[in-house]
């Protein structure tokens, strides 16, 4: 691999944004490493090489996977944004449909008032009709009582008249059975007959 390209790839892997900051970080790290090794503060051994290789691999994976993660996050954010937009549009459609459904009922208050007035008038008419029916029923009941009383008085009068007639007839019959009364009636009858005969004879003598 070209050393120039290798150096550029290493510089790009650094976490700074500008080229100067990246090169400064590399230079600083190099100087510190040389100073630590020369002063025997740090001894380079196999573990150091393994650790450096591991950190280089980890940094490379992080650096190479950063763009993929960013792309995945952008896709996920766009997906969530599309879901929210769709939900908002569906909610707007539901609200519009509900408004259209409720709009024909804008006069429901007036209709309810009219229905209330009609129902109140109906209740008043039913109450008056009930009062009239009760009045008619009371009149019919009073008429029935009066008719029954008239029938009772008529029957009582008929019984009294029949009793009186029977009493008079029985009394007359009883008196007619007396010989004295029979003789008086006979004498009165003979007197009347003689009077009529005298009148007839007088009439014939004149003519």
Report pLDDT digits (tens) over 66-125. 666 667 777 777 887 888 888 888 888 887 887 777 666 666 666 677 777 888 888 888
Q: Residue 32 — pLDDT band, cuts 50, 70, 90?
A: low
Domain boundaries, the chain: 9-43
Tokens of 26: 């590399």
pLDDT at 18 over 70: no
Predicted local distance difference test score (pLDDT) of residue 78:
81
Distances in Å between the Cα of 181 and the Cα atoms of 11, 20, 171, 185, 190 are 176, 177, 12, 6, 14
* Cα atoms in the 13 Å half-sphere on the side-chain side of 15: 2
More confident position, 26 or 50:
50
Query: What's the rounded Cα separation, in Å, for the pair 33 and 179?
Result: 185
Question: Per-residue pLDDT for 9 more than 60?
Answer: no
181 Cβ partners below 8 Å, 6+ apart? Answer: 175
**Mean pLDDT for the stretch of residues 3-23:** 47
In this prediction, residue 185 carries a pLDDT of 78
pLDDT of residue 28: 54
Q: pLDDT tens digit string along 126-183?
A: 888 888 888 888 888 888 888 888 888 888 888 888 888 888 888 888 877 888 877 8
Q: What is the pTM of this model?
A: 0.30
């Amino acid at each position: 691999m070209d050393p120039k390209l290798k150096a550029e790839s290493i510089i790009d892997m650094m976490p700074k944004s500008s080229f100067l900051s990246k090169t400064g970080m590399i230079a600083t790290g190099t100087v510190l490493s040389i100073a630590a090794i020369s002063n025997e503060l740090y001894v380079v051994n196999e573990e150091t090489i393994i650790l450096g290789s591991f950190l280089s691999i980890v940094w490379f994976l992080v650096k190479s996977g950063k763009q993929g993660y960013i792309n995945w996050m952008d896709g996920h954010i766009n997906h969530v944004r599309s879901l929210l937009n769709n939900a908002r549009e569906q909610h707007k459609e539901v609200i519009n449909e509900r408004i259209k459904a409720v709009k024909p009922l804008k006069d429901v208050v007036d209709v309810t008032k009219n229905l209330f007035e009609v129902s109140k008038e109906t209740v008043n008419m039913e109450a008056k009709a009930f009062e009239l029916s009760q009045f008619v029923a009371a009149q019919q009941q009073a008429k029935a009582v009066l008719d029954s009383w008239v029938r009772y008085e008529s029957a009582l009068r008929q019984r009294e008249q029949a009793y009186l007639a029977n009493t008079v007839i029985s009394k007359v019959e009883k008196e007619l059975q007396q010989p004295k009364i029979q003789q008086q009636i006979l004498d009165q009858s003979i007197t009347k007959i003689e009077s009529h005969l005298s009148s007839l004879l007088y009439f014939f003598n004149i003519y």
